[in-house]
Structures are given as C-alpha cells and as structure tokens.
Amino acid sequence: MAKKSMIAKNEQRKVIVARYAEKRAALKKALVDPNGTDESREEARLGLQKLPRNASPVRVRKRDAIDGRPRGHVGEYGISRVRFRSMAHRGELPGVTKSSW
C-alpha cells in the first residue's frame, strides 16, 4: 500500500495536467511551427518554461487503482502485476486464464 500523501500528490498532478493541457499543446505547436518566426518560437519556449512543472504529463505516475502501488502497472487493467496475478488466480478477472502448452 502506497502512502496516502503520494497517492494524493499524484491525483493533484492529474488535475494540474488537465488544467494546462490546451495551453501546453498550443505552446508546443507554436514551438515546432515551421512558418513561425524566431521571436514567436522564443515566446513559446518562455511560455512553456513559465508553466508549472506538474503541468507536464510525464510527471504523473501510473498507479494501481486499488492500493496505489507505483510499480509493475498492467495498463489494460489499471492494477499492479502482483494484484493482477492474485485476482486472476481467484477468477476475478473475466476472460483471464492461466497459460498452459
């Protein structure tokens, strides 16, 4: 089980990323625009630097939806590998069977 503060911090980061997503996308588009001037690119770069660090999507950590475990995330199910294995053995994940050949 992850610390409650770490889970809360990650949730807050998700909110900040969503809040600045459009502005960030517009600045990045202006930054790589081939028709833009050097001044406009410089303004876009400075605008990106002024955004909060937590507005960057790479700072959001994928966590287990049940207990917040930060590592071993199975993306399709939103849970960690440890929880995935135990739930699959108990038959709680529909359509998941143990391999045998």
Q: How many CA atoms lie within 13 A of 11 on its CB side?
A: 9
Taking every pair of C-alpha atoms in the chain, what is the biggest distance, in angstroms?
62
For residue 2, what pLDDT is reported?
86
**Architecture (CATH level 2) of domain 1-60:** Orthogonal Bundle (1.10)
In this structure, whether the domain defined by 62-96 belongs to CATH 1.10.287.1480 is answered with: yes
Q: Rounded to an integer, what distance in angstroms lies between the CA atom of residue 30 and that of residue 36?
A: 7
Type of residue found at 77: Y
What stretches in the chain show pLDDT beneath 70?
none
Domain boundaries, the chain: 1-60, 62-96
Three-state DSSP string of the chain: CCCHHHHHHHHHHHHHHHHHHHHHHHHHHHHHCCCCCHHHHHHHHHHHHHCCHHHCHHHCCCCCCCCCCCCCEECCCCEEHHHHHHHHHCCCCCCCCCCCC
What is the chain's length? 101
pLDDT at 18: 98
